[in-house]
Amino acid sequence: DAGVIQSPRHEVTEMGQEVTLRCKPISGHDYLFWYRQTMMRGLELLIYFNNNVPIDDSGMPEDRFSAKMPNASFSTLKIQPSEPRDSAVYFCASSYDRGANYGYTFGSGTRLTVV
Amino acid sequence: KNQVEQSPQSLIILEGKNCTLQCNYTVSPFSNLRWYKQDTGRGPVSLTIMTFSENTKSNGRYTATLDADTKQSSLHITASQLSDSASYICVVSVNTLGRLYFGRGTQLTVWP
């Protein structure tokens, strides 16, 4: 298994542009999580899915953020319009459960820079 | 309020030396605690998991301890190597719905 695959690895965009981050979870994992990591706040949960259904999106900072999971093997996180304060590393993770028993497998992240 | 606090924020040690990282939590009801290692430019990777009844667990040169009464955990690294340079993140899970709470990590640098 190749693990959780994220793309792109790096993204530099201008303020106001739309950004789409992509994630392929590990096959068989029923849960998918999107996290944002900054120096100031560490890892923050944005949203998570169970069997492709969004369960908790209370961590999504604003309406500019949206996430979808059209099937078990693909998810996207979209920011529109992007702002400089969105600059961070965005991680996708997947797991067999909510994370208590099996832990998470993280992707390598997407480093987003909004200028 | 459920929180996970880690100390120190950063640490520099010489290769071959031992070190101990600390994690204090106020998360309740407690389910388990994990230590993750995050290399630069990579996602976190789980090192150990400890449940309420476990006091010590080892993974090679990494030994984690848990005191559920005082809500403290430590990660001890023995005979450090350059490859141990990374951020170490403490993650605590609650029983209800299995929600995870992340510490902000300790940045460890091992010098030759």
Each residue's pLDDT, cut to its tens digit, for chain A (115 residues) gives: 679 999 999 999 999 999 999 999 999 999 999 999 998 889 999 999 999 999 999 999 889 999 999 999 999 999 999 999 999 999 999 999 876 677 889 999 999 999 9
Cβ-based contacts of A99 with chain B (< 8 Å): 93, 98-100
**A100 contacts on B by Cβ (under 8 Å):** 31-32, 93-95, 98, 100
CA distance to A48, B23, B44, B94, per residue, from B13 (Å):
37, 19, 21, 33
Percent of chain B topping pLDDT 90: 78
Whether residue A61 has a cis bond before it, omega within 30° of 0: no
Q: Which residues of B touch A (CB under 8 A)?
A: 31-32, 34, 41-46, 49, 89, 93-95, 97-100, 102-105
Instruction: Look at A100 and B32 and tell me if their CB atoms are within 8 Å.
Output: yes
